[in-house]
Amino acid sequence: MKRFLFFIAAIFSLQGLNAQQTQKPQLYGKNWMAITGKTFGAEAGAQIFQKGGNAVDAACAMLASVCTTWTTLSWGGETQAIIYNPHTGKVISIDALGYAPTGATPGFFRSKGMNFPPEYGPLAAVTPGTPGGLCYMLAEYGTMSLKEVLAPAMQQAAGYAIDASLCNVIVANEKRIKNWPYSKAVFLTHQGEKSEGPEPGEIFVQKDLLGTLTKMVEAEQSALKKGKSRKEAIYAAYDRFYKGDIAKEFVRSCQEQGGLITMEDLAQWKPIEEEPLHVNYKGVEVYKLQQWSQGPAMLQALNILENFDLKSMGYNSTRYINTVYQAMSLAFADRDFYYGDPYFPPEEPMKGLLSKEYAKERAKLILPDRNNPDIAPGDPYPYEGKTNPYSDMLRQRGTQYSTAALDSIYMQRLWMGTTSIEAADKEGWAVSVTPSGGWVPACIAGHTGVGMSQRMQSFVIDSALDPFNVVEPHKKPRVTLTPSLAMKDGKPFLAFAVQGGDTQDQNLLQFFLNIVEFGMAVQEATEAQNINTDQLWLSLGGEKNEDRKPHPGYILINSGTPEYVRKDLRRMGYTLTLRERTSGPINAIYFDVKHGTLWGGSSNYGVDYGIGW
């Protein structure tokens, strides 16, 4: 039996000759690397690698596992991925985000007295994307059967030892869970007792979910017996979920509980393979999802920061923090107004937003001696040779501030997390995934055992906030989810992702700079101190505009930041929030081209875990 090298929290190691001490050891692999949000998931990936699967197979197994063990997501959520295919030498992305159902219009939500779609419940649900995304990735780029890839997750659905973190989330949300009968039946395993949720270490059984996964495998195996190819058989399982008896039960129970999703909605939705957006930063090509995600905000920030000598400023110096903070605020101001579903009009001005010339103009707005509280969306249209059709709207919109103080509810919405998945193998496949949706407290869709998405809340119903992201049937919301891949000299350089709502591309930006500008090793870079800007519109939570408005100058910094830096920042107009850990739960793989090996990093922020061989 081969022995694995595990990430173990609280073990100190030195990554290299000049590296700083880290709380988790650097992980190395010759053949493959599997990293995700829980031990369960990483072990599922390792099992698939051991059976000869490639990185896509392993990523699909990890995805199935983390959904089954409710690693801040469920099977009814959404999956988005960036994949490097060594056979074609191309980077592609997978858009497996669900869309708004029939009847989801601004008028519908206004009729219910809402300024945004709700945070929870069946009316928060877009169509499920993860089952379709998993099937698509596996069919098109994997090598194994759905039966093989789902085996670890099916064993977990039959019963696994539930972890304390999930138990705590269930107990904290008992009141809301009781609103939905199918959720109550699954999560509250001790009904009538003082604490009705499961206990840590208890065997948590999900019979209905196991039934759903079994039906998908049965559809695949039946197709294989009829002479269908591996790919055709996987799509037979896909069809059973989106068009067959699973779909019927999903729709029946969704509508029974007050939701809008129809059979036509499920049947017409499909995952989309896309070309990711990218920019070059000092010889490194950085790839992100299209503008239905917030990923291009990191690309915009890199373009802006390319106009500064960050290395000479020094890592997390006052000048560095001030510059990075404002660059992020500038990029997010554009995100908040210009990003949306590219398959629906109006067309987003992405060519202008990602142009180097536009970035130079935006960089001029960064004040060297203080924060700029008046940062607003810019005008990228001239950089496309066009006139901005929203000039009047932008003038009327102006710079909007929140007058509310930051509180624990606001911070929870800002950081609202999911998980991430990174996988790579010696053949050259590289996979980065940031799945999400259907987190506890999820409304479970009847006897499917599938927790429905809550992603509808990322739409707006007021076009003045973002004319590109107004809710509409079969339109996708602009989401925070943002896997990343960087290429250097035509080969994979970094695969990286993080959970954490609006902070995702903030943490990933700084992680990337830690490596490229400051020469950190990958584990060191995942644990390094980051900052967060609150000078943006929240993407998740809050029923009123005031709940989501930007807080100019509000900044999260690490509690280990020297007092003289804190003093300087306060003098420059910043309001500080301090925390012991600020890196975000970053997972990453560095490709060591010189030695032909893989280096894994998994932040000390959470319970994320990796295995390499």
Q: What is the pLDDT of residues 288-310, one digit of tens each?
A: 999 999 999 999 999 999 999 99
Q: Is residue 357 part of a domain?
A: no
Q: Is residue 65 part of a domain?
A: yes
| Helix intervals (H) in 517-584 | 522-527, 545-548, 563-571
- Please state, for a pLDDT cut of 90, what percent of the chain lies above it: 88
| Domain of 249, in residue numbers | 37-273+419-458
Q: Is residue 601 part of a domain?
A: no
pLDDT of residue 408: 79
Q: Is residue 169 part of a domain?
A: yes
pLDDT of residue 409: 82
Q: How many residues would you count in the chain?
A: 613
Query: What 8-state DSSP symbol labels residue 114?
Result: -
CB 532 within 8 A of CB 506: yes
Computed on alpha carbons and rounded to an integer, the radius of gyration of the chain in Å comes to 23
Cα torsion 467, 339, 526, 96: sign: positive
Q: Is residue 312 part of a domain?
A: no
- The domain total for the chain is 1
- Rounded to whole angstroms, what are the CA distances from 5 to 12, 74, 131, 283? 15, 28, 30, 33
Q: Is residue 527 part of a domain?
A: no
Query: What 8-state DSSP symbol labels residue 586?
Result: E
pTM: 0.95
Give the H/E segment covering residue 161: strand 160-161
- Rounded to whole angstroms, what are the CA distances from 124 to 106, 260, 336, 343, 481? 13, 10, 20, 21, 17
pLDDT of residue 341: 98
Residues 6+ away with beta carbon under 8 Å from 596: 30, 426
- What gap in Å lies between CA 84 and CA 55, rounded to an integer? 10
Q: Report phi then psi at 208, rounded to 5.
A: -65, -40
pLDDT of residue 19: 54
In which residue are the tokens 């101001």 written? Answer: 333
Q: Is residue 119 part of a domain?
A: yes
Segments of the chain scoring below 50 in pLDDT: 1-18
Name the nearest CA neighbour of 431 among 42, 54, 46, 145: 54
Q: Is residue 371 part of a domain?
A: no
- What gap in Å lies between CA 353 and CA 349, rounded to an integer? 6
Query: What 8-state DSSP symbol labels residue 4?
Result: P
- 518-566 pLDDT, tens digit per residue, is 999 999 999 999 999 999 999 999 888 888 999 999 999 999 999 999 9
